[in-house]
Amino acid sequence: MRRVVVTGVGALTPLGGDAASLINGLNLGVSGVRPLETPWIQSLASPLAAPVTVPIESHFPKLRRLTLDRVAQLSLLATREAIAQAGLDFSSDSGLDCGIFWGTGMGGATTLEQAYTESLLQHAIRPRPSTIVMFMANSSTGQIGIEYKIRGPSLTYSSACSSSAVAIGEAFTAIRSGRIRYAVAGGGEALLTQGVMKAWESLQTLARPDPEHPETSCRPFDKKRSGFILGEGAAALVLEEESSARARGAAILAELIGYGNSTDAGHITQPDAAGQARAMRQALAQAALQPDQVHYINAHGTGTVVGDVIETQAIKDVFGAAARQVPVSATKALHGHLMGATGAVEMVVALGALQNQVIPPTAHLLHPDPECDLDYVTEGARHLATLDTVMSNSFGFGGNNAVLIARRYPS
C-alpha cells in the first residue's frame, strides 16, 4: 500500500477567506456567529447563522457566475488555495492521474429555493435555463474539474454532516491502493436560505440565541447547550502519493494514516455510540495506533443535547483509560456547523493543530455537563510539547460515521 500525504489545504469559512484565517481565528476564540442581514430572517425564531462574509462573486466573470451556485463558488475558491499551496498544475498530463472527491449535503440549495420561489410563488413562465446544472449535487465536483483541468475519476458524496470527511477518506483509499496519484478532496455547503433554515428550526436542533451574547449561543458539551448554529463554507485538501510529493520536492504538511466509516443502522437522526466507536476503531486499526498514541481529537461536537453525550460515550468506549488524557475540542462553537463541508473544514483545523502544536479550544463551555466529562480544552488554545497524531470525527444524519487520522510528517 502506498503512503498518502497532504501537500495543500484551502478553506473559506465564517472566520475568513483562507485556511490561516480559520486556524488563527479559532486559536484566538474569534466567533463567526452573527445575525443574518436579510429581511426573511424575521420569519425565524433566531436570526443567527455563521455566514461567509468575505466577497466571493468578484472572483468569477459575470458569465461564469450564471452557472455557479454559491456552493460552487465557495468550493472553487477553497480548491484554488489548496492547489496553489501544493504547487500543482493539472492542465498537463498530471490531470489524468488526479481524482476529485467532493462532499455536500444539499448541493445548490440557493438555486433550488430560488427556482421554487420563482415558479410556484411568482408564477414565472419557467425556471432559469441554468437551474439544473447549478443545484445538482455534483455541480461543484464538475466545476472543479473544469476549472483546474482534473480529468481522473470524480465522485460526489452526500452523507449529511460526514460528507466531506467521507470524500477525504475515499480519496485517501484511492491513492493508497494505487488507483490515482493525486486527489482534490473536501466539500462545500451553502444553505443559509429561508426554507432550509426553517426546516432545521422545525427539527429543534438550532441553538437558542443568548440574549446578551448571541455569538456564544452554540455551546458544545455545556450543560446549557441547546443546539448548533448553521453555517456555510468550503474546504479542500490536496492529497498525494508520498513518492510523488518527495520527487517533486513538495512541502509535505502531514500524512494521512487512518480512515474509518460505519453505519449506525438504528435511527435516521439519533446517533449511536456503538456506530461511532466502530468508525474510530477502524481508523485506529488502519493507522496501526493504540488509543493512547492519539494526541488530539477534533470532535463532531455539535452542541445538541443528545449528540454530545453520545460522542463522549463513544470516545470513552474506544479510548478506555486514555479517554480523559487526550485533549478534545469542538470548534463548531466558533465557525458554526457547515453540514456537508464540516468534515473537511475540521480536518484542516486538525492539520493546523498538528503543524502548530496548538489545540484550538471548545468555546463557551462554562457549565460542565456531568455526562460530558472529558478534557475539552476550555481554557483557550493549548500548546503541547508533543502533538504528533490527530483524529477528526464526523457523524451524519442517516447514521454515517467517518473518522480520519493524520500524523506529523518527519522533516
Active site residues: 161, 300, 337
The answer to whether 187 and 164 are in contact (CB under 8 A) is yes
Which burial class, exposed, middle or buried, applies to 307 when counting CB atoms under 10 A from its CB (0-12, 13-18, 19+)? buried
CA–CA gap between residue 60 and residue 248 (Å, rounded): 31
The C-alpha atoms of residue 376 and residue 361 are separated, in whole angstroms, by 7
Closest to 389 (Cα-Cα) out of 350, 360, 356? 350
In DSSP terms, 50 is beta-bridged to: 231
- DSSP assignments along 115-174, one per residue: HHIIIIIS--SS--TTHHHHHSTTHHHHHHHHHHT--S-EEEE--GGGHHHHHHHHHHHH
**Amino acid, res. 284:** L
Burial 211-247 (b: 16+ CB within 10 A, else e): eeebbbbbbbbbeebbbbbbbbbbbbbbbbbbebbee
Handedness of CA 269, 372, 354, 246 (dihedral sign): negative
- 60, with CB counted inside 10 A (0-12, 13-18, 19+), is middle
Cα distances from 115 to residues 73, 112, 129, 359, in angstroms, run: 18, 5, 10, 43
